Amino acid sequence: MLSFDDLKSIYNYDHVGPETRLFAVIGDPVSHSLSPALHNAAFATLGLDWVYVALEVAAGDAGAAVDAMCALHLGGLSVTMPHKDAVADHLARTGRLDPAAASLHSVNTVVRAPDGVLEGHSTDGAGFVASLRAAGIDPTGRA
């Protein structure tokens, strides 16, 4: 259950209006996610009229959640467990997958492309490699 302080400090409810763009993370469970706090802090710092929420989506409902992204005009969708494979399946049939998402059969980010098609991306691998390089480890050529 969200407290009044959470609504104000994490979701900036008092600044949400008809022009506010909505972004979300889907998962099951997802209530523990730090993504809303991190994203909303970044949005506020950048002066964006955007809000990021966590949506609990039951296993088996990932495709419906992606379809709802269009109906609800979400600006973007983050995907966490257990939905990464199911979203990849859904977008392989109804949208597009970037090369990493197609290769890994896993999607953690869904965006609407300029042509209106939903695209699934997998940024987990690139993020992991970047963290290794930042720690001074070059993974090139390692198996």
Q: Which active-site residues does the annotation give?
A: 84
* Beta strands 96-97 and 76-79, pairing class: unpaired
Cβ atoms within 10 A of the Cβ of 106, count? 20
22 and 40 in contact (C-beta within 8 Å)?
no
**67 has which bridge partners?**
none
Sheet holding 118-121, edge to edge: 50-56, 21-27, 76-79, 109-112, 118-121, 96-97
Instruction: Retrieve residue 135's tokens.
Output: 């720690």
